[in-house]
A = this chain, B = another copy of it.
Amino acid sequence: MKNTIRVERAKLEISQQELAEKVEVSRQTIHSIERGKKTPSVELAIRMARYFKIPVEELFIIE
């Protein structure tokens, strides 16, 4: 599974740290999800997608 977190962050010009604060997880959590090392819960995924104002399916793509 891949994701577009990095691109979405770039659009808004926010750091992993800032995103982490916005969705209320640690920076490491954002980091490992962004790098595809971990898969978030649907709850966290929804919070992230909601923050970026895009559908979950656009932020996380199953290949």
Measuring CB to CB, which residues of chain A are less than 8 angstroms from any residue of chain B? 1, 39-47, 49, 55-57, 60, 62
CB-based nearest B residue for A33: B42
**Cα of A42 to Cα of B55 in the assembled complex, Å:** 12
Q: Is the CB of B41 within 8 A of A40?
A: yes
Out of B1, B39, B55, B62, name the residue touching A57 (CB < 8 Å).
B55
**Cα of A55 to Cα of B39 in the assembled complex, Å:** 18
Instruction: List the B side residues contacting A39 at CB < 8 Å.
Output: 41-43
**Cα of A44 to Cα of B62 in the assembled complex, Å:** 10
Q: Is the CB of B56 within 8 A of A57?
A: yes
Distance in Å: Cβ of A15 to nearest Cβ of chain B: 22
